[in-house]
Amino acid sequence: MDKDPVQTSVTANAGTPSPQTAWRYGASLAVMAAAAGLGSFAALQQGVSIAAPTATATAVAPAAAAAPAALSVRGLPDFADLVQAAGPAVVYIETSVKAPSRSARRGQQAAPFGGGNDPMMDEFFRRFFGDAFPAMPRGAQPEADTAPNAGSGRMLPQGSGSGFILSTDGVVMTNAHVVDGADEVTVKLTDKRQFKAKVLGKDERTDIAVLKIDAQGLPALRTGDVNKLRVGEWVIAIGAPFGLENTVTAGIVSAKQRDTGQFVRFIQTDVAVNPGNSGGPLINMRGEVVGVNSQILSGSGGYMGVSLSIPIDEAMKVAEQLRATGSVQRGFLGVNIGDVDDAAAEALKLPKGEGAAITRVLPKSPADKAGLQAGDIVLKFNGEKIEGSRDLQRRASTTKPGEKSDLTILRSGKTLGITITTGSEKDIERLSKADERSKTTELMRLGLKLSALDAGQLRELSVPGGVKVDAATGAAAAAGLQAGDILLELANTPVQSLAQVQALAATLPAKSMVSVLYRRGNWTMRSGMRVGG
């Protein structure tokens, strides 16, 4: 074995011991690497170029053979300067709650896990086990606590986490779950100063919160461009896992736009993140924040190699609204949507997994006013491709109420452009209640009680439109209609919705005879109906 493995060029030959032999006899990593045809471990650390092994079993390659290709290996990065520059802008956050009165505590039992008074364990079980274990109410004390001043306004530890300074005047970003339910939030800087923080706002859907401390001239982190972040790129996390402040861990970006079924698509890394890291920054090698550390995927509750961070561009959109108004207003289209399955994609000649299918349009919603219809496939939103229903939901929600957006849709095999003015999520409840009332209608003069069919039911029945007959009396019963029939046409007009049928029925002259087309099982029948007075 060479004394200076840094300069080793390895050529495989019959006299080289196998990796197993090298390990068995306790040889150095350099020898093991040479045996595997990888060059020395020290060479990898130094970032030198290593000659690739030849396939021949002889000690010397033939003179006529082509020179072996060089494998260029970059050295491992040194994070010291990066940490020195970025570290002072990372903060430690502790939260507290007011102690309840003794009467409020009466009858409460200590939970076997968590407990509310151990910040690290409390966050551990709350964040990673959710509701799997019972938890003592926040701030509650065991019944045995009979201190004379119990409940007299004192504060009890609730949890802890991390955060980072966004601006020199004391604006701090963290996770919403770090400060959720807290009566008091304390921010600790690396220079040992402590400040009581005001929560400017928090958004549970994206898990982002913005705090403000009374300080000036603070070190602040720059935000980076997530679009330029590459899979395989080195990143670091700085935070306080288990309360160990200013802990640095490093790894690479494992994936971008990782969809876990939640509101945001995460940056996935293999950076070690544990309870207490929540809210801390994910930093690239240029010292820019590219994500907010939020979750891990784990079968044990602890770090197992998969960490998830909220992309900083998404976090900043939320932070801007929280700083301005204390809450987040999201756009609302007013549609029920689903994914385009493989069979539908093939029939529509679409790439698999592309687009969001509109299954229902809420009456009087922005989508209804823009002319969207059940059965439309949304392909693009403001020029960006829609990959599925969650993608459309996220993009629509990032628009502000009153903002115009351009949609590209597929309808009946044709591509169309539609402009929609986004509504407010505050309208959802009002329109939904009105829609519930509109899902059924009773046409007394026809003797019909009808209910709406969604896109899935229409597709299952293989009909382009129609409404369900819930009850038939009077004129409808005389015409032969029964409960369970599907009304397809009224007065030679194809049925599209309950509102359309109701409007059409109002125009029919009294005592007139009109044609009705309806479906019963696999049979389609036509009959005449005498309109009542």
Q: Which residues belong to the active site?
A: 177, 207, 278
Specify which residues 414 forms β-bridges with.
411
- Tokens matching residue 98: 């007011």
328 CB-contact burial (10 Å; exposed 0-12 / middle 13-18 / buried 19+): buried
Alpha helices in 144-238 (DSSP H): 176-179
Asked whether 18 and 37 are in contact (CB, 8 A), the reply is: no
Closest Cα to residue 200, out of 329, 310, 96, 319? 319
Cα distances (angstroms) measured from residue 338 to each of 96, 345, 386: 42, 13, 12
Specify which residues 97 forms β-bridges with.
156
Q: What is the C-alpha end-to-end distance of the chain, expressed in Å?
A: 106
Q: Which residues of 286-311 are buried (b: 16+ CB within 10 A; e: fewer)?
A: ebbbbbbbbbbeeeeeebeebbbbbb
Asked whether 336 and 318 are in contact (CB, 8 A), the reply is: no
CA atoms within 13 A on the CB side of 369: 12
Cα distances (angstroms) measured from residue 232 to each of 44, 267, 291, 425: 17, 12, 15, 38
The residues, ordered by sequence, that sit 6+ positions from 163 with a Cβ below 8 Å of its Cβ are 90, 91, 92, 93, 172, 173, 174, 178, 187, 211, 279, 280
Region label for 136, one of left (φ > 0), alpha (ψ between -120 and 50) or beta (otherwise): beta
Helix (H), strand (E) at residue 468: strand 467-472
Asked whether 109 and 175 are in contact (CB, 8 A), the reply is: no
Give the 3-state secondary structure of residue 503. Answer: helix
Pairing of strands 222-223, 288-296: parallel
Q: Give CA–CA dist 261/240, Å, rounded.
A: 27
